[in-house]
Amino acid sequence: MKIVQRTPAEDVNRFSIEVHPVLQRIYAFRGIYSDDELDLALAHLLPVSSLKGVGQAAALLMDALKGKKSILIVGDYDADGATSTALAMLALKSFGAPDVSYLVPNRFEYGYGLSPELAELAAAREPGLIITVDNGISSLSGIDRANALGIPVLVTDHHLPADKLPAAAAIVNPNQPGDEFGSKNLAGVGVIFYVMAALHNALSETGWFEQQQLLAPKISDWLDLVALGTVTDLVPLDRNNRILVSQGLRRIRAGRCRPGIRALLAVAKRPLSRVVASDMGFAVGPRLNAAGRLEDMGVGIECLLTESEAVAQELAETLDELNQARRSIELEMREQAEDALEQLHRMTEGELPAGLCLYDKAWHQGVVGILASRIKEQYHRPVIAFADGGDGQLKGSARSIKGLHMRDLLDRIATRQPDMVKRFGGHAMAAGMTLNTDSFQAFKSAFEKEVEESVDSTMLQGLLLTDGELEPEDLTLEVAQTLRDAGPWGQAFPEPLFEGEFRLQHQRVVGERHLKLRLSTGRGGEIVEGIAFNQSMLPKSTQTVKLAYRLDVNEFRGVRQPQLIVEYIQSNP
């Protein structure tokens, strides 16, 4: 692992307000130099009307409302899909839709998106309109089937489209051709939020709420769902997304959030009043995702939809149990993968392929995505992990490294060998695909070759980009709290990471696999606590350590103090 300090794009400071010097440096590393760029008020959101297709979508939805048509929402089985589905359900019901329901494909039976088989299943409910959320842009055959069955489809998605767009009644996707929307990074929940905002505006202009004797809802009331879905889907936090997340977190901290979000935070033991983006990503998101990974995302969606605190708590506890089961499955799969890679390491005399393609018949289809992420982090290589999908097929989940666009790489393989990859889709950093089982070895060879031609050795080197060192006098509760409050931090706007050398005063293992550290600075000798998750004891001879760490606030039994969250540790005698 190589630790590298970030460098600012410019060496300027245009802040007219007082900003802590440490924070000024951190912002400069992220291209922010003035307080205007820190203003995350809702007024600075990109205009709803600037999103291509949103007006057409609003007109389609108004027609459905006026005609009292039943509306079916087809979602995805991850946290972005669950929050998107819940937001669409809540918004349409508050707008007076008489019959709104949802259908999320079970990943083990139907796979991803609106497939022809799912269109047949949807038709049995006799909907007047289907809305896809967080999917649909690649569902060409499924939408063709829905059209043949006489059901119009509104596609709301954010994934990259193929060369051909589906024959939908309307498409809203910031990444579709010709869309000049200022942020290409909206999550699926962000897209449906914009669509519902456009519908809200259109209904208000026509006096709909007064005519229907409805209390006009505030579209901002669903920003808690937008914050959760945006953070968990790991989309880049550009300014527009930071506004959405910041505003959603403010509402959650004030207690103005769905009972399900409140309950999920409670089972994760995260105080509502101090919630930050990382709590969404590491505490709420995994519990919500566990439903879609192991069983059915319906449990997660119902947790987000319920108005009952008691029901929300019961469902959150179910999701927590599913997440614990997921972690056990993941640990076993990871041990198996590491054994296989260790064997490969010996066979290739220490030279692993530039791209890792892994498969085990016993692996769980819903957990291979997490496995791919863990292996990528450990070996600093793009990874695809496959599981048996039944019917002679393999389901794969891919994770990439910086500088390698995974979906484009899969597209190149599929173009050169059209019969090899049955289906694929995704983003630069993550993708999913389906293969015939007997195509695995050929695909593995093609993937390794394509990665080898697309990367250089520096891309395969593990890098930790830091914000430099902190002075001993900055290792304080005040600075730690300042950093927490300065977010939201997330993808492409990373939480501050620092580097430094410390003297090791004491170490002990807590919670079975975590290393609790007592450290002192080299100069003043100030004592600071640290914790390294999933880290074994350091050699007894260790006197000093070099760390890459985040400065955070730890609260235990009512006492708050600064704590180093250690991302990387190097021991020195």
Overall fold of domain 466-572: OB fold (Dihydrolipoamide Acetyltransferase, E2P) (2.40.50)
Residues of the chain with CATH 2.40.50.460: 466-572
Residues of the chain with CATH 3.10.310.30: 352-460
Distances (CA, A) of 287 to 75, 200, 293, 325, 565: 18, 31, 10, 11, 22
What is the model's pTM?
Answer: 0.91
C-alpha 123/C-alpha 133 separation (Å) is: 17
Residue 174 in contact with residue 184, Cβ under 8 Å? yes
Multiple choice CATH, 44-214, 3.20.20.100, 1.10.3720.10, 3.30.420.40, 3.90.1640.30: 3.90.1640.30
Give every strand in the sheet of 170-172, ordered side by side: 100-103, 71-74, 129-133, 153-156, 170-172
Using DSSP's 3-state secondary structure scheme, residue 346 falls into: helix
Overall fold of domain 352-460: Diaminopimelate Epimerase; Chain A, domain 1 (3.10.310)
Tens digits of pLDDT across the chain (573 residues): 788 999 887 766 778 788 899 999 999 999 998 888 899 999 999 999 999 999 999 999 999 999 999 999 999 989 999 999 999 999 999 999 999 999 998 777 777 789 999 999 999 999 999 999 999 999 999 999 999 999 999 999 999 898 899 999 999 999 999 999 999 999 999 999 999 999 999 999 999 999 999 999 999 999 999 999 999 998 999 999 999 999 999 999 999 999 999 999 999 999 999 999 999 999 999 999 999 989 889 999 999 999 999 999 999 999 999 999 999 999 999 999 999 888 877 776 667 899 999 999 999 999 999 999 999 998 999 999 999 999 899 999 999 998 999 999 999 999 998 889 988 887 788 899 999 999 999 999 999 999 999 998 888 888 899 999 999 999 999 999 999 999 999 999 999 999 999 999 999 999 878 999 999 986 667 899 999 998 889 998 999 999 999 999 998 888 899 999 999 999 887
Q: And the tokens for 240?
A: 């527009």
Distances (CA, A) of 510 to 435, 450, 537: 43, 43, 11
What are the DSSP calls for 420-484, one per residue?
A: TEEEEEE-SSEEEEEEEGGGHHHHHHHHHHHHHHH--GGGGS-EEEE-----GGG-SHHHHHHHH
**What angle (nearest 5°) sits at the alpha carbon of residue 555, between those of residues 551 and 560?**
75
Residue 267 in contact with residue 320, Cβ under 8 Å? yes
C-alpha 429/C-alpha 409 separation (Å) is: 11
Give every strand in the sheet of 356-359, ordered side by side: 356-359, 383-390, 393-399, 430-436, 421-426
Residues of the chain with CATH 3.90.1640.30: 44-214
Q: Largest Cα–Cα distance in the chain?
A: 78
Q: Which residue bears the tokens 């004030």?
A: 254
